[in-house]
Structure 1
Amino acid sequence: MGHSEIQGGGCEVCVVRPTLSITQRASKYHYTPQHTPGFFKSLQIKATESCSCSARCIMSVVAARVPILSWLPSYNLRSSLVGDIVSGITVAIMHIPQGMGFAILAELPPIIGIYMAFFPVLIYALLGTSRHSSMGAFAIICLMTGKVVKQLAVIPDPESHHDGNETQPLLQGTHTYTPVQVAALVALMNGIFQIAMGVLQLGRLSVFLSDMLVSGFTTGAAVHVLTSQIPFILGIHVHSFEGPLKIIYAYVDIIGQAFSCDQAVMIISLITMIVLIFNNEYVKPWFRTFTKIPIPIELIVIISGTLTSYLDNFHDVYNIRIVGEVPTGLPKPAIPPVELMSAVLVDSVVISVVAYVVSFSMARIFAKRHNYNVDANQELYAMGASNVFGSFFGCAPIAVSLARSLIQEAAGGVTQITSFVCCFLLLFVLLFIGPVFETLPNCVLSSIIVVALKGMFMQVRDLKRVWGVSRPDAMIWLASFLGVVIIDIDYGLLLGIVTSLVVLLYRSQEPKTARLGRVPNTDVYLNVKEYSLALEVPKISIFQFTGPLHFANADYFRQQLMSVTGLNPAAIVATKLLEPKLRQPEAGITSHQTKGVEYLVVEMSGVSYTDSSGGYLLSQLYKEYQKAGITVCLAALSGSVLQTLDACGTDNVIPPEDIFHSLHDAVVALTNPDQPLGVDDISTQL
């Protein structure tokens, strides 16, 4: 092998080696097949490895399951502590308005949102592997939890505080359950499912929920969140609808009450949203030029709303709904009503999957940005344990909040110490400051939620961006979005998953194919329809297939092979039986393609996988073309494909001498059939 400079830049590389079939390659380079143990042997090996025990092994396992033991001893106080403290204080301030607002989405008292920022987050800080994810209340998960709460709990009428009016649950029985009990049970079931998924090593299955699916799903869910908050912003009461088209029915009801809105509530909501939007669009970008720490505008709005409501007595004078009683101190631990497990089973599975996918997607983004690793299965353990622990204190399921996480990163957060600082400040709020927020109008919290939805609605740009790149990906986004909006959140997720699987199958069902030609005096082979310099090799037709070959696309492979090359073995055999004077090119056969063709080479470098149906198809094609006087050869097969063909017995039909190391090996060997393999040299110029 050598190289030299050539005119025009670059260099010329000359590689000289013998042509190789797979038999020659195995012999010349001492191929030793790897032994694959059987199923029971694999289980035995796995059991032996799992049961082997040593002090070092135990410490490794414990450190893997409790990551804080790995990173805390090496924590750098000088470079990380200040950023973690500042970030923790900033995130704690954000937790108060967001937690209180998102708790309303789950039909829970606002104080529960702060509990969700304290109890579960403590456990996640110990067990989680993401350094920048802000766990706690998340709008989509709270909304999905609220659906279950409305079905199973007795919800007090927000219009009449403590007057006995209540919303009855759909599930009637001898016992009644509070919203906190139902939400806590959902959190417990979430934790159990997530821990079970971690034990089964199912963390990586999240890759099947594509970015387009998650984007469309969360955008559709944002429509539900907006719809649920409009009655609070307008000061009206909307009936609770269930099933498909419930959002449409809700908006019909809202429009029907357009002239009965509470003007005082609308004015408060309008002022709140104007202040928030002005800050986000103008003040925040300007302020960011001076410091990474954002203005805690949501907290300022809450304090202002609470103070104004207290001084003007909004609840008694204007009949404006307020937060109401906020207890001080920490709640006593209690076991959720486990007798309702069967009733929340399906919803809990959906919520646990959505919470994990959204959270792990964010964790993966931050990990790539800051060059560290997140463990998919450990995240399941961490989230599961957090939800289980939080459920005993009345918490709803938790997930990562995009807005808080971005602020945590921007404020200088480096490690999970941020979460501990945040929890310490929230503990102070829970012990001493909680009752201050009792006069806060609910419409202020709803306004904060609606303005915070901007980021989710802006995900519509993902559809515009991907529409011109990949229509199938755009269909995944649309299916997820429309399914969530028109049908319901859980069914929309299912529709998105089904659409993703259909797109995946479609792409593997019909891979790209081409007829290749050789660029003269090179080993470069290109599509003859796209490159005018690529010329077909005399006596050889080359067919390229660039996708997996399996039972679902076996017929497509056969059809494309005959269509692209123009070589139909049945038609060729029929033509040979006719009298010479009657022979005419038949359908599917063009004379310039079939005249003198002796070899059909299938280039399979793009075939990553094949199954028994693919192996059987290749055997059948070999026999059919052999009857037509054409030899089928295979080139550039991967090791796994060769092993599958060997297991299927395909190599008993197609001789190993007709299976080549590369396409160029096949062409050189077939154009020089009088020279034995392994003697002729290939001279390649690049």
Structure 2
Amino acid sequence: MMEPLMDRPLLAAGSARDRIVACCSYGALKAWLPILSWLPRYRLTWLKMDLIAGVTVGLTVVPQALAYAEVAGLPVQYGLYSAFVGGFVYCVFGTSKDVTLGPTAIMSLLCSYYVDRDPVFAVLLTFLCGVIQTSMAILRLGFLLDFISYPVIKGFTSAAAITIGFGQLKNLLGLQNISQQFFLQVYDTFRKLPEARVPDVTLGLLCLATLVALTFMKSSLGPGSDDLPVHVRGARGLVWSFSTVRNALVVICATCLSYSFEVYGHHLFTITGQTSAGLPPFQAPPFSETTPNGTVISFNEIVLDLGGGLVVIPIMGLLESIAIAKAFASQNDYRIDGNQELFAIGLTNIMGSFVSAYPVTGSFGRTAVNSQTGVCTPAGGVVTSVIVLLSLAFLMPVFYYIPKASLAAVIICAVTPMFDYRVIAKLWRVKKPDLLPFLATFLLSFWQVQYGIVAGVVVSLGMLLYDVARPQLKVRDHGVLVVELDSGLRFPAMQYLSQMLFSKALTASSHRSVVLDCCHVSGVDYTVVDELRDLLRQFQQRGEVLIFTGLSNSVLEVLLEAELPGLKHVESVEAALQAVSGTPSYN
């Protein structure tokens, strides 16, 4: 197994020359090119495992890529165009042995909102997303992803699963002319149910049943053992193999069935139809488009049309891939470099735009297959990419006969696990307020996905800011009020703290001194200092004292620099109480 990849070396303080030498060192080069960490140690046993994993994932990605292109509203070949660049780029720049980059259900759904079935828009979106993601990596802005909370992610993915799954019912039923907008899509689908084509429905349900059965068989296998008889181990291996490549198996069988009927002139199924044969041309992404009527759409106009997609798609792509990389790094006991992952994804999208790809990210399902088949290094992705290239070079004419119902079944089975109905009960049990960002994201994502994500982030930040502005205060009465701050003290909280101290100590029937326990306060700003100055003045005017305890060195230094009149501080609450009741000896 690939050993943990090293983090970027920290540059010690020193001269500019030392820093330049450190940046040009072999260690720094390995940080930017992680392949240098594992390639010199590559072993023949790793090659065997990487080949097995790469072939297995390749048989999974080909049918999925064709199906996800349908979700994105693009011709099916664009799914394959998007599926092979990631393997080559990530092998050189990625820090996870398990992650596979390519088209996914969520990214395909997001693209469908912004590209409006136009490949030119899709390819330019890929290039711009790559530039944005790479820039974020170079500027080390990955921390921005931390502001998207778990409830927001779960709300979005659950809504996406429903949207994608329901959107495939039209292909499962053989319906035509169904709206793209979700609510209109629901209306059109039920309105046109009488027009459903029986052969498509029959084939689609058969494919669904087969996929579900194979999935269940794989999950029920349980752990194997070398003590089992040879024939039992062989049967288990056969079941595991068929269930792992179940998508390819179902699509191949459905295509053979469709081809058999087409040869004899029976057009029973709705098929994929004409596809572009061969490898995509390697060319710069288009920065303008000429419509069939001769109208030229400029770069600026395309960017304006893409709008919020230039924010939503890069961020969601990074979030999805890094979450997957972290999960499998933890599971398989190695480490990843978050910013290097951003760089690898961004570079994959930039290079992908030169071969007509639409935006890609890490795939949880294919990464799981990669890990389960024992991949040892990112070289397994190269094998997967070669399989995709071979499919483009030799199998495109066969894809003409793929029934859309079979691809719909593949997509529905792929997105069903994304809908986590148990998360509602978990949030309710652990922290009920977290249901607010979840529901805001979930419900608004059915209208416009960007509105759902923005609403969820805004609600989450609002809750976060409320906690900052309303810190928990523990108040104890010892004749002298002892007020303990349970969290930090920043300017949004000062008005709340001032009002509480006035009401409890200065405007009560009898004035009282206050001991302010600041052991949890790690920093203060100028607004806090200014408000404390006013508080100290108010206490002095009423003949009372405000004593600070538990001040950290950094906070105390700021308060002393501010030269607050009447500032009194001691080490502990007990010392403060003694100082108020007896003869004070303040620090």
Q: TM-score, normalised to structure 2's length?
A: 0.87
Deviation at 1:327, TM superposition (A): 4.6
1:511 matches 2:471? yes
Contact 2:170–2:178 (CA<8 Å) still a contact in 1? no
Pairwise CA distance, 1:430: 2.8
The residue that corresponds to 2:413 in the other structure is: 451
User: Structure 2 vs 1, CA of residues 315 and 515 (structure 1 numbering), >3 Å: closer, same or farther?
Assistant: farther
Aligned to 2:67: 101
Matched, 1:257 2:192: yes
CA contact (8 A) 1:182 1:336 kept: no
Pairing 1:147-296 to 2, within 5 Å after superposition: 147-150=113-116, 179-241=118-180, 246-286=181-221, 289=224, 290=236, 294-296=243-245
The one-letter code sitting in structure 2 at the alignment partner of 1:355 is G
Show the counterpart of 1:496.
456
Whole-Å separation in 1 of the counterparts to 2:163 and 2:263: 28
CA distance in 2, matches of 1:287, 1:308: 33
State the shift of 1:196 in Å: 1.6
Number of aligned positions between the proteins:
549
* CA offset digits 1:317-349 (Å, max 9, x no partner): 235321224455422112222133523353133
Aligned partner of 1:385 in structure 2 is 347
CA offsets 1:257-315 (integer angstroms, 9 cap, x no match): 12121111111111111111122224542276545755311111011001000111299
Select between 302-311 and 665-674 the one with higher mean Cα deviation.
665-674
Distance in 2 between residues matched to 1:50 and 1:132, nearest whole Å: 38
Q: How does 1:586-665 map to 2 (within 5 A)?
A: 586=509, 597=512, 599-647=513-561, 649=562, 651-655=563-567, 658-665=568-575
1:393-542 residue pairs with structure 2 within 5 A? Answer: 393-457=355-419, 459-485=420-446, 487-516=447-476, 537=478, 539-542=479-482
- Judged with a 3 Å threshold, the aligned counterparts in structure 2 of structure 1 residues 68 and 233 are, in CA distance, closer, same or farther, namely same
Q: Deviations over 1:431-489 (max 9, x none)?
A: 333333321101110111011111111x231122011211222211111111101x211
Structure 2 portions without partners, runs of 5+: 1-11, 225-235, 289-298
Structure 2 residue aligned with 1:579? none
**CA distances 1:536-572 after superposition (whole Å, capped 9, x unpaired):** 54x5321111223233222211233355xx32x144x
Q: Which residue of 1 aligns with 2:232?
A: none
Q: Kindly indicate whether the alpha-carbon contact (under 8 Å) linking 2:570 and 2:586 is maintained by their aligned counterparts in 1.
A: no
CA gap of 1:439–1:285, structure 2 versus 1, over 3 A, is same
1:121 partner letter: G
C-alpha distance 194-283 of structure 1, shift in aligned 2 (>3 A): closer
Cα 1:410/1:483, change in 2 over 3 Å:
same
Conserved? CA contact 2:86–2:100, under 8 Å: no
SS of the equivalent of 2:516 reads strand
What is the match of residue 73 of structure 1?
40
Partner deviation per Cα, 1:367-392 (whole Å, 9 max, x = no partner): 22233322222222111111111111
Shift, 1:429, TM fit: 2.7
Query: Which of residues 82, 85, 90 is equivalent to 1:124?
Result: 90
| 1: CA distance, partners of 2:114 / 2:268 | 29
Decide whether the 8 Å contact of 1:315 with 1:321 is kept in 2.
no
Inter-partner Cα distance in structure 2 for 1:142 and 1:463: 26
Distance 1:85 1:668 in 2: 74
Q: Over the residues paired in the alignment, what is the CA RMSD in angstroms? A: 2.6
Structure 1 residues 179-204: Cα deviation after superposition (integer angstroms, max 9, x where no partner):
33322111111111111212221112
SS of residue in 1 equivalent to 2:266 = helix
- Tell whether 2:60 aligns with 1:60: no
2:272 alignment counterpart: 323
Return the offset for 1:629. 2.2
1:555 aligns with 2:495: yes
Shift in alpha-carbon separation, 1:677–1:617, aligned structure 2, 3 A = closer
2:294 equivalent in structure 1: none
Change (3 A) 1:507 1:434: same
User: In the aligned structure 2, how far is the partner of 1:272 from the partner of 1:305?
Assistant: 8
Q: Which residue of 2 aligns with 1:374?
A: 336
Q: Mind listing any 5+ residue stretches in structure 1 that lack a counterpart?
A: 1-44, 154-178, 517-535, 572-585, 679-686
Instruction: Give the distance between the partners of 1:386 and 1:379, measured in 2 at CA.
Output: 11
C-alpha distance in 1, partners of 2:59/2:529? 63
- What letter matches 2:544 in structure 1? I
More helix by share: 2
CA distance in 2, matches of 1:189, 1:547: 41
Distance 2:28 2:556 in 1: 38
Using the TM superposition, give the Cα deviation of residue 213 of structure 1 relative to its aligned residue in structure 2, in angstroms.
1.2
Task: Give how far 1:118 is off.
Answer: 0.9
Secondary structure of 2:481 counterpart? strand
Report the secondary structure of 1:439's partner residue: coil
Counterpart amino acid of 2:434?
A: D
AA matched with 1:506: Y
Contact 2:56/2:244 (<8 A) preserved: no
SS of the equivalent of 2:183 reads helix
Structure 2 letter corresponding to 1:63: K
Q: Deviations over 1:231-251 (max 9, x none)?
A: 11111124435xxxx422221
* One-letter amino acid matched to 1:275: T
Structure number, greater radius of gyration = 1
Aligned AA (2:401): T
Give the conservation status (yes or no) of the 8 Å contact 2:211–2:247. Answer: yes
Task: Tell me, in whole angstroms, the C-alpha distance in 2 between the residues paired with 1:207 and 1:615.
Answer: 29
Distance 1:56 1:484, change over 3 A: closer
Q: Is the 8 A contact 2:53 2:380 kept in 1?
A: yes
User: Given the superposition, is the C-alpha separation of residues 677 and 625 from structure 1 closer, same or farther in structure 2, using an over 3 Å criterion?
Assistant: closer
CA apart distance, 1:425: 2.8
Corresponding residue for 1:83?
49
1:133 paired residue number: 99
Whether the aligned pair in 2 keeps the contact of 1:315 and 1:322 (CA below 8 Å) is no
Whether contact under 8 Å (2:320, 2:362) holds in the other structure is yes
Query: What secondary structure does 2:308 align onto?
Result: helix
Write the distance in 1 (CA, Å) between the matches of 2:14 and 2:355: 38
SS in 2 for 1:73: helix
Match of 1:634, SS?
strand
3-state DSSP class of the match of 1:374? coil
Retained in 2: the 8 A contact 1:238–1:254? no
